[in-house]
Amino acid sequence: MTQRPGNQLFDAYFTARDMRDVFCDQGRVQAMLDFEAGLARAEARVGLIPASAVAPIEAACNAGLYDFAALGEAIATAGNSAIPLVKALGKQIAVSDAEAERYVHLGATSQDVMDSGLVLQVRQALALIESDLADLADSLATQAQRYAATPLAGRTWLQHATPVTLGMKIAGWLGAVTRSRQRLRELKPRLLVLQFGGASGTLAALGEQALPIAEALAEELQLTLPEQPWHTQRDRVVEFGAVLALIAGSLGKFGRDISLLMQTEAAEVFEPSVPGKGGSSTMPHKRNPVGAAVLIGAATRVPGLVSTLFSAMPQEHERSLGLWHAEWETLPEICCLVSGSLQQARLLADGLEVDATRMARNLELTQGLVLAEAVSIVLAQRVGRDTAHHLLEQCCKRAVAEQRHLRAVLGDEPAVTAELSSAELDHLLNPAHYLGQAHVWVERAVAEHNALSV
């Protein structure tokens, strides 16, 4: 069986197929050809080239007509992908219309083709990411509301703290996703812009028709015309990469929490169970958090890639040597990693398996110690903060030393029972009564999500 070359073993795990299609060789070449076709239409609209040249140019702007292996070999000599592609495009056009071949790529430079092509790819990538984020947010909002009142141990420094709710924890994941969606909306007007400056950014080759052509080209490609060409001003690209890194990091937090909650010692929340998922090659009992691993892996890899984008910002003069080149594979790889993370995150959020009974049991592991603060706060209002804190601290130490429930120790302490009745102690030692504003945080996170989704 013939297989196309490349590293494909991990693609299905770490990358969503739709995103890989955007940034595969076919996607990259087609985006550049879309620029060339748009340029021909724009120049014909302005009258720089004859209208009869447009159809032959457009017909040749089909990535399926080109040999990617040959282009790759030529790139090694040319130094970028546009030079050999434009040559191949010219030859393809000349087969059917030698006259039209004279007008291809008129007034543009290689970086115009590559950067505008990249923006066209990024627009597709953005649509996929925004759709996945919206779906993920919908699932998280549903789950946050479902478990808004389900108590579990809050954990600080990896140890039991005070009770929270699973809904509150999920609302935290939701809030991060909502902010990422907001950031993407805010940056789109800055990001989805045309790159068209010619040799050194002046468009001098097009004379007085330069600006009208640029405006027409932006319309043809449905991009915004920026205030000036941005050949070596890379903040737009880097901002996008940085926002993607924030998304990867937030999803990594989601994955980290899930993996910790799946630990044998916790066993409170699980990834959805699918035949063959998360098994071990030697241990039949294992159920590994393989989806969470993708989220954590992407969150680990993306920052290093983004640092490459930041490092490539101080580019030389009007065209960069090497720094621009460092971006070519970096931004697509970031997009692909984030897409794979989102793909797994959606599966996790949709199919979360929750063991509320285990959560309640785990809350009792410390035999009431997680509610010591609740008792201390009320007691402080009657005997003073320092006295109450010292008293509860001693009772907690006694409970641990005697392996007794804190409720029993407090019930035997005259200094406590003199201030708090048996009913009050029962109430204070019930986790469901010490959840604070957890339900409010859920409501607020869901409301913000709903407002963004209108």
Catalytic (active-site) positions: 280, 319
3-state DSSP call for residue 154? strand
Which tokens hold the place of 325?
């080149």
Q: Are 289 and 259 in contact (CB under 8 A)?
A: yes
Spatial distance between the Cα atoms of 113 and 117, rounded to a whole number of angstroms: 6
What would the two tokens of residue 86 be? 């434009």
What's the rounded Cα separation, in Å, for the pair 64 and 340?
Answer: 26
Q: How many CB atoms lie within 10 A of CB 134?
A: 15
- In angstroms, the CA 437 to CA 444 distance is 11
Q: How far is CA 129 from CA 126, 149, 336, 341, in A?
A: 5, 31, 10, 10
Q: Are the C-beta atoms of residues 280 and 320 closer than 8 Å to each other?
A: no
- How far is the C-alpha of 207 from the C-alpha of 214, rounded, in Å? 12
Report the alpha-carbon angle 337-350-153, nearest 5: 95
Angle at 291 between CA 259 and CA 157, to 5 degrees: 20
Output Rg (C-alpha) for the chain, integer angstroms: 30
How many angstroms separate the CA atoms of 160 and 116, rounded?
A: 52
Q: Which amino acid is at 339?
A: S
Nearest 5°: phi and psi at 157?
Answer: 55, 30
